[in-house]
């Protein structure tokens, strides 16, 4: 097995080179100077001394992008450095240039499949021009059936494919584009179909102005199979505007659409929207579903929990998907109804797992938590191979140059090419070399949850402890927030401009810095030491404001103003209050932080109250 794994890594051209342990200051300065020189127009020969440098492929790709006529040098670069992402991008650009020049033999000789659609079409068209029609058209339908406009380099090969102009293929593509929300392209395709074009025009109008649906009768909206295919997407747009107001309109089609998968998906989303608004129509939409999915079942369970309708919960979820959430609350329902035997049976189903609901179930059974740690077993030979891997060598070089973005890209590029056994070895290697954020991503993409050392690393123990001492906030809580907010990425920046390990908005960071007399210069928010102190200070301020760990955690994510509104919900049972949080993100956030806090306490060998005790205490 190990030989097969090693062969896979070697065969991708990703190995080998002597291990680049650490670039000297001289090498780093040369690289940066060379990069500047290439940008200024220097010839590639001026940096010949750097051909052995790990980042030479980036320098060469920069140069040859400006000098695409150097065909022999470029193809030689493909041979030696094709594993480097910029060289693959150069390849795609160069292939398109060769197509424009009509050099079809050259394309066929030097083409590699990088996943780029335009370059692939140029290659297929070159094959077709050279008479290899069969290979040119292999799986061409998978390229053509796209919900988006495709590169003009595909026009030639599509023109040679007779199905391109067949009405059924055009209709399939128009429908794909419509359901993806790409309305302009959907209309472009539909315009080739005289009978269907007016229908598409009308329904595209509904997507752009959903309330105009109300001007039509059900008979008009379901007149043909195409009407019935397009309607669910328009209804979803409508109920997103106001789920409570438009539920009666959207649900009138339920009987007719009992076997329409898109309509059933719309009902599932509508159920969630209504539950988040604590609206009783959720019971109706859930009942109308032919086969309720997990999302809808969890949503309706939450609704029944919020309203303490225990008998209805027991009945309604009897034959529904059983997630940890559903099993826990079914146990609570049986307990509320006096059936302790069935309550314990449901708790037992999940008490041996590691998540928020499993911990609550274990509490009900007075059992210790199961953390299910399954450490990755490093294979020495494979770990050595990874240390000699060109992508990882380049990642280390970028890290030493302060370019963490390209370092992460290199790591995730190789990770995407590895089978799960080797990807697990990569995650171990990354964790050992302090690429904790990337290791978390690699395992997360595989849904590989059980190496808790890798998934819940502790690289900032001293900083977290210092922040805890400064603010009085439990160190495990700080770590749980860091893990949820940034997955250990000190350079993280969100779309809302939250920054650093604990994802602080700059204004909030300045307020905390002032309150704690911490010097905060322009880039200090990305300093892990300062960020953890300021994040812990903000967490402390939220706890002071709400006097409860759960409310403070919700406020850290959603903001204190929203939590002030939500405390109007019944807080007599905080587990039920959590289910009533109307923001999906915040509700999941709170549960994960509670889970992660226990996980970090276990890893750090510190004693914490149970989850049930924590959420019913007024102090952290």
- Give tens-digit pLDDT for 195-243: 999 999 999 999 999 999 999 999 999 999 999 999 999 999 999 999 9
Size of the chain, expressed as the number of residues it contains: 620
Cα–Cα distance measured from residue 213 to residue 202, given in angstroms and rounded to the nearest whole number: 10
Is pLDDT at 59 greater than 60 in this prediction?
A: yes
Residue 163 has pLDDT above 80, yes or no: no
Sign for the CA dihedral angle at 162, 163, 168, 174 comes to negative
| Sign of the alpha-carbon dihedral angle for 147, 446, 273, 318 | positive
Q: What percent of the chain has pLDDT over 90?
A: 89
- The gap from C-alpha 44 to its chain's centroid, in whole angstroms, comes to 39
**What domains can be seen in the chain, in order of their start residue?**
462-615 (1.10.530.10)
Q: Which of 403, 383, 385 is nearest to 394 (CA)?
A: 403
pLDDT band at 95 (very low <50, low <70, confident <90, very high): very high
Backbone angles phi, psi at 15, to 5 degrees: -130, 140
- Choice among 139-143, 263-267, 347-351, 573-577 with the minimum mean pLDDT: 139-143
Can you tell me the distance from the alpha carbon of 267 to that of 201, in angstroms, rounded to the nearest whole number? 25
Give CA–CA dist 486/441, Å, rounded.
11
pLDDT of 617: 61
Averaged pLDDT, 91-100: 98
Whole-number mean pLDDT of the chain? Answer: 93
pLDDT tens-digit series, residues 574-598: 999 999 999 999 999 999 999 999 9
What H or E segment, with its residue span, contains residue 197? Answer: helix 197-208
pLDDT digits (tens, 9 = 90+) for 521-533: 989 999 999 999 9
Confidence (pLDDT) at 607: 87
Q: How confident is the model at residue 570 (pLDDT cuts 50, 70, 90)?
A: confident
pLDDT band at 25 (very low <50, low <70, confident <90, very high): very low
* HSE-CB of 229 using CA atoms within 13 angstroms: 14
Q: pLDDT grade, residue 164 (50/70/90)?
A: low
Query: In this predicted model, what pLDDT tens digit does every residue of 324-382 receive, in sequence order?
Result: 999 999 999 999 999 999 999 999 999 999 999 999 999 999 999 999 999 999 999 99
Confidence band (pLDDT; 50, 70, 90) for 162? confident
Average pLDDT of the residues in 98-106: 98
pLDDT tens-digit readout, 411-447: 999 999 999 999 999 999 999 999 999 999 999 999 9
Asked whether the predicted pLDDT for residue 153 surpasses 60, the reply is yes
How do residues 549-567 score in pLDDT, each as one tens digit? 999 999 999 999 999 999 9
What pLDDT band is residue 29 in, cutting at 50, 70 and 90? Answer: low
Inter-residue contact 535 to 467 (CB < 8 Å): yes
Pairwise CA distance, residues 582 & 143, whole Å: 40
List residues bridging with 15 in a β-sheet: 389
Residue 485: its H or E element: helix 475-486
Point out the residues that are catalytic: 485
How high is the pLDDT of residue 229?
A: 97
Sequence-ordered list of residues with C-beta below 8 angstroms from that of 375, at least 6 positions apart, any chain = 451, 453
Residue 395 has pLDDT above 50, yes or no: yes
Q: What is the pTM of this model?
A: 0.91
Q: Tell me, what's the pLDDT at 548?
A: 95
Q: What does the pLDDT read at residue 400? A: 92
Q: Residue 114 CB: number of other CB atoms within 10 A?
A: 16
């Amino acid at each position: 097995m190990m030989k097969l794994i090693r062969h896979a890594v070697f065969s991708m051209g990703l190995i080998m080179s002597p291990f680049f342990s650490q670039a000297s200051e001289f090498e780093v300065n040369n690289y940066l100077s060379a990069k500047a020189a290439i940008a200024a127009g220097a010839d590639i020969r001026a940096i010949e001394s750097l051909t052995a440098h790990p980042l030479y492929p980036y320098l060469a790709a920069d140069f040859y992008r400006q000098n695409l006529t150097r065909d022999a040098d470029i193809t030689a670069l493909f041979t030696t450095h094709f594993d480097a992402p910029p060289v693959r991008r150069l390849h795609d650009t160069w292939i398109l240039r060769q197509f424009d020049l009509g050099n079809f033999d050259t394309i066929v000789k030097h083409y590699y499949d990088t996943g780029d659609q335009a370059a692939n079409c140029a290659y297929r068209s070159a094959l077709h021009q050279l008479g290899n029609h069969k290979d040119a058209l292999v799986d061409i339908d998978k390229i053509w059936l796209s919900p988006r406009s495709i590169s003009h380099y595909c026009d030639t090969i599509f023109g040679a494919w007779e199905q391109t102009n067949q009405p059924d293929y055009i209709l399939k593509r128009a429908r794909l584009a419509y359901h993806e929300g790409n309305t302009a392209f959907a209309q472009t395709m539909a315009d080739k179909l005289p009978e269907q074009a007016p229908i598409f025009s009308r329904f595209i109008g509904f997507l752009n102005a959903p309330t105009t649906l109300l001007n039509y009768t059900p008979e008009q909206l379901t007149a043909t199979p195409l009407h019935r295919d397009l309607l669910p997407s328009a209804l979803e747009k409508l109920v997103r505007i106001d789920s409570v107001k438009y539920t009666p309109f959207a649900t009138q089609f339920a009987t007719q659409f009992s076997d329409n998968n898109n309509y059933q998906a719309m009902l599932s989303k509508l159920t969630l929207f209504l539950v988040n608004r604590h609206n009783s129509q959720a019971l109706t939409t859930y009942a109308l579903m032919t086969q309720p999915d997990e999302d809808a079942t969890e949503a309706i369970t939450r609704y029944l929990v919020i309203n303490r309708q225990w008998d209805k919960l027991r009945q309604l979820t009897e034959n529904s998907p059983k997630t940890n959430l559903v099993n826990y609350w079914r146990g609570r329902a049986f307990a509320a109804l006096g059936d302790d035997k069935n309550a314990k049976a449901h708790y037992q189903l999940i008490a041996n797992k590691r998540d928020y609901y499993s911990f609550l179930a274990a509490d009900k059974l007075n059992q210790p938590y199961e953390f299910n740690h399954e450490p990755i077993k490093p294979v020495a030979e494979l770990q050595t191979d990874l240390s000699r891997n060109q992508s990882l060598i380049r990642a280390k070089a970028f890290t030493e140059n302060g370019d963490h973005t390209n370092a992460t890209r290199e790591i995730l590029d190789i990770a995407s090419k590895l089978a799960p056994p080797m990807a697990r070895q990569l995650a171990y290697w990354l964790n050992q070399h302090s690429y904790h954020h990337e290791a978390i991503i690699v395992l997360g993409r595989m849904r590989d949850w059980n190496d808790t050392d890798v998934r819940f690393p502790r690289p900032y123990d001293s900083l977290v402890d210092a922040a805890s001492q400064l603010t009085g906030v439990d160190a495990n809580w700080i770590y749980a927030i860091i893990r949820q907010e940034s997955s250990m990425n000190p350079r993280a920046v969100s779309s809302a401009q939250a920054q650093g390990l604990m994802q602080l908005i700059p204004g909030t960071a300045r307020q905390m810095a002032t309150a704690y007399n911490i010097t905060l210069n322009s880039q200090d928010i990305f300093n892990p030491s300062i960020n953890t102190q300021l994040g812990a200070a903000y967490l402390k301020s939220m706890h002071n404001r709400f006097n409860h760990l759960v409310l403070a955690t919700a406020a850290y994510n959603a903001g204190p103003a929203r939590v002030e509104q939500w405390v109007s919900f019944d807080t007599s049972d905080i587990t039920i209050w959590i289910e009533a949080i109307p923001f999906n993100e915040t509700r999941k956030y709170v549960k994960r932080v509670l889970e992660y806090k226990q996980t970090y306490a276990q890893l750090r060998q510190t004693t914490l109250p149970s989850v049930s005790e924590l959420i019913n205490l007024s102090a952290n």
